[in-house]
Amino acid sequence: GAVVSQHPSWVICKSGTSVKIECRSLDFQATTMFWYRQFPKQSLMLMATSNEGSKATYEQGVEKDKFLINHASLTLSTLTVTSAHPEDSSFYICSAPDSLGNTIYFGEGSWLTVV
């Protein structure tokens, strides 16, 4: 089946710094990828839709200048959390639809802790 890979799996950074999370589709091309955020014991919250070759579409309430998304190629999307603060600490997950567009596969997720 399709595989989506995220890196890093976990990261700790200092408050005020920026952190980049990569999402790769390993055996298929993805013109669209989705970025989610998940707080403990809660469901996934869609942050933005990443589109290859164009600007990302952000959900209401998500700061596009804080969460920079770049879909550089058909297999790579990146999420950069800029000027990170402790309240940005969370589980970030990316996903991509399969080549037929029938369903969506998720990455393993990235744990961000801002200290």
Applying CB under 8 A, the residues found at the interface with another protein are 1, 6, 32, 34, 42-44, 46, 49, 91, 93, 97-98, 100-109, 111
Here the tokens at position 70 are: 């770049």
Q: How far is the CB of 66 from another protein (least distance, A)?
A: 20
Q: How far is the CB of 111 from another protein (least distance, A)?
A: 7
Q: Which is nearer to another protein, 100 or 115 (CB)?
A: 100
Q: Which is nearer to another protein, 82 or 104 (CB)?
A: 104
Q: In angstroms, rounded to a whole number, what is the distance separating the alpha carbons of residues 87 and 102? A: 35
Q: Which is nearer to another protein, 23 or 114 (CB)?
A: 23
Cis peptide bond prior to 40, omega within 30° of 0: no
Q: How far is the CB of 56 from another protein (least distance, A)?
A: 12
Q: How far is the CB of 38 from another protein (least distance, A)?
A: 9
Here the tokens at position 1 are: 């089946």
Strands in 76-81's sheet, in edge-to-edge order, are 4-7, 19-25, 76-81, 67-73
